[in-house]
């Protein structure tokens, strides 16, 4: 028998179909060409059961949803203290690509905005494998399948990467970038171009929900303390300058990407993923937010809800 949960997910898609607000990301030509009407949802429990609906096999670039995982890898490489010496944990209240550093510390304010994510990527150890290869390996462990780069998206963003390059130069001048600006930005952009489905992302989110243990393989991919840190920063900074609105309405740690995905994590319970390419002015999926609000409300996911 078909699970009633699948019927429920179909309903969430149908009942948000009228939401056509927002625009696909315009500043990366390859993303500007995306079909704006694609839509998908996937849930994965900490037992590894996945429920999905919509364009479940559609592949799209992970974009900024890669940032929590790069942050996790940097913490695993260097320990939390050393990472905190380089990147802060305060919400910036600014756009994701703002050209600014914390004036008091000279560091990026957090690892979820581009400045912090470029600095974080540059911290990744790359003795035997490149930082990008290491990120792809991590994504593959988290999803249980080989994850590759969508080369057309990477090339397209590299060709339009002036703002991120500007940020990297600013970081370098402030002594907050461990690599030269060019390679740091190229690595970061390739990390963002990893090609995933909502199912892949649901497993990645569920691993964060499950204290770093991938629920299908049982592998401890990340340490428990690492996932606690990552989820805390997702809760406070993952939705950029809409983080407060998100935390009060949806109420779970989350991260968005400009290709239209959003991952949410209810610790100890479930990973939730939505996809719809049109973005609101903060760069978060407009219909995705409405779908997440519905899921949070209907399934009782809000962390601050005492029942």
| Dist. CA 264–CA 25, nearest whole Å | 21
DSSP string, 120-154: HHHHS--SSS-HHHHHHHHHHHHHTS---B-HHHH
Q: How far is the CB of 134 from ligand GLN (least distance, A)?
A: 18
Tell me the H-state helices in the chain. Answer: 4-15, 29-32, 67-78, 80-84, 114-123, 131-143, 151-158, 162-173, 181-192, 198-209, 224-237, 243-249, 286-299
| Dist. CA 261–CA 65, nearest whole Å | 8
- Residue from 16, 63, 120, 210 touching ligand GLN (CB under 6 A): that is 63
Here's the x/- map for ligand GLN, 276-295, by CB under 6 A: it reads as: -------x------------
- Which residues lie below 8 Å from residue 141, measured CB to CB, with a gap of 6+? 214, 217, 219, 221
Pairing mode, if any, of strands 261-266 and 270-275?
antiparallel
Here's the x/- map for ligand GLN, 19-58, by CB under 6 A: it reads as: ----------------------------------------
The verdict on 156 binding ligand GLN (CB under 6 A) reads no
Here's the x/- map for ligand GLN, 115-134, by CB under 6 A: it reads as: --------------------
- 114 carries a ligand binding annotation: yes
Q: How far is the CB of 188 from ligand GLN (least distance, A)?
A: 7
- Residue from 51, 60, 69, 96 touching ligand GLN (CB under 6 A): that is 96
- 188 carries a ligand binding annotation: yes
Give 275's strand partners: 40, 261
Phi, psi of 273 (to 5 degrees): -135, 135
Phi, psi of 71 (to 5 degrees): -60, -45
Contact 288, 261 (CB under 8 A): yes
- Residue from 157, 186, 200, 241 touching ligand GLN (CB under 6 A): that is 157
The verdict on 97 binding ligand GLN (CB under 6 A) reads yes
The verdict on 261 binding ligand GLN (CB under 6 A) reads no
Q: How far is the CB of 166 from ligand GLN (least distance, A)?
A: 12
| Residue with Cβ nearer ligand GLN (72 or 167) | 167
Specify binding-site residues.
64, 114, 157, 164, 188, 240, 258
Specify binding-site residues for substrate.
64, 114, 157, 164, 188, 240, 258
Residues of this chain that bind ligand GLN (CB under 6 A): 63-64, 96-97, 114, 157, 164, 189, 192, 257-258, 283
């Amino acid at each position: 028998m078909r699970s009633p949960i699948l019927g429920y997910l179909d309903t969430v898609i149908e009942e948000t179909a009228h939401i056509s607000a927002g625009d696909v990301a315009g500043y990366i030509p390859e993303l500007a060409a995306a079909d704006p009407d694609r839509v998908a949802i996937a849930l994965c429990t900490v037992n590894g059961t996945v429920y999905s609906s919509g364009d479940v096999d559609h592949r799209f670039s992970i974009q900024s949803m890669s940032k929590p995982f790069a942050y996790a890898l940097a913490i695993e490489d260097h320990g939390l203290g050393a990472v905190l010496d380089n990147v802060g944990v305060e919400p910036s209240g600014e756009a994701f690509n703002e050209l600014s550093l914390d004036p008091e510390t000279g560091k990026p304010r957090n690892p979820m905005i581009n400045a912090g994510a470029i600095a974080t990527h540059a911290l990744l150890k790359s003795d035997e494998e490149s930082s990008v290869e290491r990120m792809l390996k991590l994504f593959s462990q988290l999803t249980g399948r080989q994850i590759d780069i969508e080369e057309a998206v990477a090339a397209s963003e590299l060709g339009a990467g002036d703002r991120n390059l500007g940020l990297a130069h600013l970081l370098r001048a402030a002594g907050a970038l461990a690599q030269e600006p060019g390679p740091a930005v190229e690595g970061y952009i390739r990390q963002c171009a990893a090609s995933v489905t909502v199912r892949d992302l649901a497993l990645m989110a569920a691993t964060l929900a499950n204290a770093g243990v991938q629920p299908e393989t049982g592998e401890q991919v990340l340490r428990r303390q690492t996932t606690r840190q990552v989820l805390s920063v997702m809760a406070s900074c993952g939705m950029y300058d809409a983080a407060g609105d998100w935390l009060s309405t949806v109420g779970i740690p989350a991260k968005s990407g400009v290709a239209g995905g959003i991952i949410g994590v209810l610790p100890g319970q479930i990973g939730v993923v939505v996809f719809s390419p049109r973005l609101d002015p903060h760069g978060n999926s407009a219909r995705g937010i409405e779908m997440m609000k519905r899921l949070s409300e209907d399934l009782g996911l809000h962390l601050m809800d005492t029942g």
